[in-house]
Amino acid sequence: MSLFFRRREQRAPFAEPPIPRPSEAASTFASINLSRAESSLQKVAVWAAVDLQASLLSTLPLDVYRGEGAARQALPAPALLTDPSGEGFGVEDWLYQYMMSMLLRGNAYGTVAARDPMGLPTQVVLYHPDEVQGWRDTDDGLPRWRVSGREAPSAQMWHRRAYSVPGRLLGLSPVAHHALTIGLGLAATRFGVQWFEDGAHPSGLLTNEEALDQKQATTAKQRFMAALRGTREPVVLGKGWKYQQIQIAPDESQFLETQQYSSAECARIYGPGMPEILGYATGGSMTYANVEQRSLDLLTYTLDPWLTRTERMFTAMLPEGVYVKYNRAALARTDLLTRYRAHAIALRNRWTVVNEVRDIEDMGHVPWGAEPNELAGSEPDLSEK
C-alpha cells in the first residue's frame, strides 16, 4: 500500500460517492490521501487542467453525417448524442463526466441501459471510476467486472480506456502514476496553512542576560504581553532585557517556489503547453503574439487526440455509414480582422459560399448567398440586399 493510496471502500451500486473536502483531510500535512479521484482536484493546477479539457470537449459542436465528399449529408442528432444517459442532463453533462473519468483515472465505465433493435447502445449510464474493478479471467481471458463489490454482467458493461499499455485491460491512471507530484503540491499548500493556523513559529524572542526560572520567565512574558495589548506606545525594557522580532519571508512560510514548481508539473501531466495556457511560470513569457499560437497548440497537441477518440467512440455506437465529427473551427477562433481576411480568401477561391460564411458569423442567410463567388479576384459582398 503506497503513501497516497489506501484501501477502497465497498459501496452499493449507483451510490453517490462522497467528495472529500479540504476540511475533512487528515490532521497532518504529511498525510495526503489520493485514493478517491476527486481528492487530486484539491490541487488547483489539476482542477484547472482537467476542467479546461472537459469543458472544451463537452461544449464544442458535435455534428452527425452520412457519406463523404459531395455525397456527405448532415443528419439530425440521435438520442445517444442529445442525452446519452437518459437522465435529462444532456450530452454536455455526460461528456464532462466521461472526460473527468478519463483524465483522472484513465478509464470510463458505464452500463448499457438501452439498445436499439440492431443491438446498438442508445443509453449509457456512467459509473464512478473508483467503484469499478476489472480483470481478465485466467481461464478464458475474457473481461470480468465488479461494481461496488458486486459482479456485473460483461454484456451490459461499457468501458473505454486511455493511456493503455500492452497486456492490461485497464488504462493507466494519471493520478495514481503522478501521486508524488500531486501529493507534494497538496502537502506544501497544507503546510503553509498550518504554519499560520497552528502558530508553528514564535513572533519574537524576549531574552535576559541573567538566568530565569520557569516562574520568572512566565511572569516576564505576561507583563510584556500586557504592555503590548491595546496600545501602540513604545515598550520600556529594564536592564539586561532584549526583544528580537522574528521575521519569516512569505515565500518561505508558504513554500511558494515549491508550489509554483509542483503546479506547473501537475499541469504538464495533461499535455504539452498546458502550464503556459494556465499561466504557470515555466521560463517563457505570454505575449499577444503567441496567445493565438498557444490556443492552436492546445487544440493540436492536447485536445485533438481526445476529440478524435470521442468521435470514434460515438461513431462505433451508431449505424454503419453514420459518423460523428467535432467542429474544430469553433475552437480555433482568431481576431476579427484575421477571420474576415480568411473568409475573403475562401470566397475568392470558391472554397465556400457567402451563406456558409454568414453561418460561421451567426448571421442570417441572403437569397444570393448559396452560389460560389462568380468574380475570382473581386472582394465578396457580405451585406444583405
Q: Is residue 307 part of a domain?
A: yes
Q: Domain check: are 166 and 45 in the same one?
A: yes
Place of cell 508550489: 259
pLDDT at 16: 46
Which residues have a Cβ under 8 Å from the Cβ of 61 and sit 6 or more positions away? 326, 327, 330
- Give the chain's residues under pLDDT 50: 1-17, 19, 21-30, 251, 253, 288-289
Cα–Cα distance list, 299 to 60, 141, 253, 272, 305 (Å): 12, 38, 38, 11, 9
pLDDT at 290: 58
Q: Domain check: are 147 and 231 in the same one?
A: no
Integer-rounded Cα Rg, in Å, for the chain is 30
pLDDT at 99: 97
Q: Domain check: are 33 and 181 in the same one?
A: yes
The C-alpha atoms of residue 360 and residue 330 are separated, in whole angstroms, by 9
Q: Domain check: are 125 and 219 in the same one?
A: no
Q: Is residue 105 part of a domain?
A: yes
Structurally, the chain folds into a number of domains equal to 3
Q: Domain check: are 215 and 266 in the same one?
A: no
Which strand ranges, in their side-by-side order, compose the sheet holding 143-147? 132-136, 143-147, 150-152
Q: Is residue 8 part of a domain?
A: no
Q: Is residue 29 part of a domain?
A: yes
Instruction: For residue 110, count CB atoms less than 10 angstroms from its CB and return exposed for 0-12, middle for 13-18, buried for 19 or more.
Output: buried
Q: Is residue 320 part of a domain?
A: no
The C-alpha atoms of residue 267 and residue 196 are separated, in whole angstroms, by 27
Q: Domain check: are 364 and 273 in the same one?
A: no
Parent domain of 352: 334-385
The C-alpha atoms of residue 169 and residue 147 are separated, in whole angstroms, by 16
Neighbours of 6 (CB within 10 A): 12
Q: Domain check: are 238 and 365 in the same one?
A: no
Q: Domain check: are 56 and 78 in the same one?
A: yes
337: helix, strand or coil: helix
Q: Domain check: are 230 and 285 in the same one?
A: no
Q: Is residue 4 part of a domain?
A: no
pTM of the predicted model as reported, rounded to 2 decimal places: 0.72
Q: Is residue 195 part of a domain?
A: no
Long-range contacts of 62-66 (CB under 8 A, 24+ apart): 62/91, 62/314, 62/324, 62/325, 62/326, 62/327, 63/324, 63/325, 63/326, 63/327, 64/318, 64/322, 64/323, 64/324, 65/322, 65/323, 65/324, 65/325, 66/321, 66/322, 66/323
Q: Domain check: are 278 and 210 in the same one?
A: no
The C-alpha atoms of residue 318 and residue 257 are separated, in whole angstroms, by 50
Q: Domain check: are 179 and 289 in the same one?
A: yes
Q: How many residues does the chain have?
A: 385
Q: What is the pLDDT of residues 295-343, one digit of tens each?
A: 777 777 888 899 999 999 999 999 999 999 998 877 766 667 777 888 8
Q: Is residue 5 part of a domain?
A: no
Q: Domain check: are 179 and 33 in the same one?
A: yes
The C-alpha atoms of residue 146 and residue 132 are separated, in whole angstroms, by 6
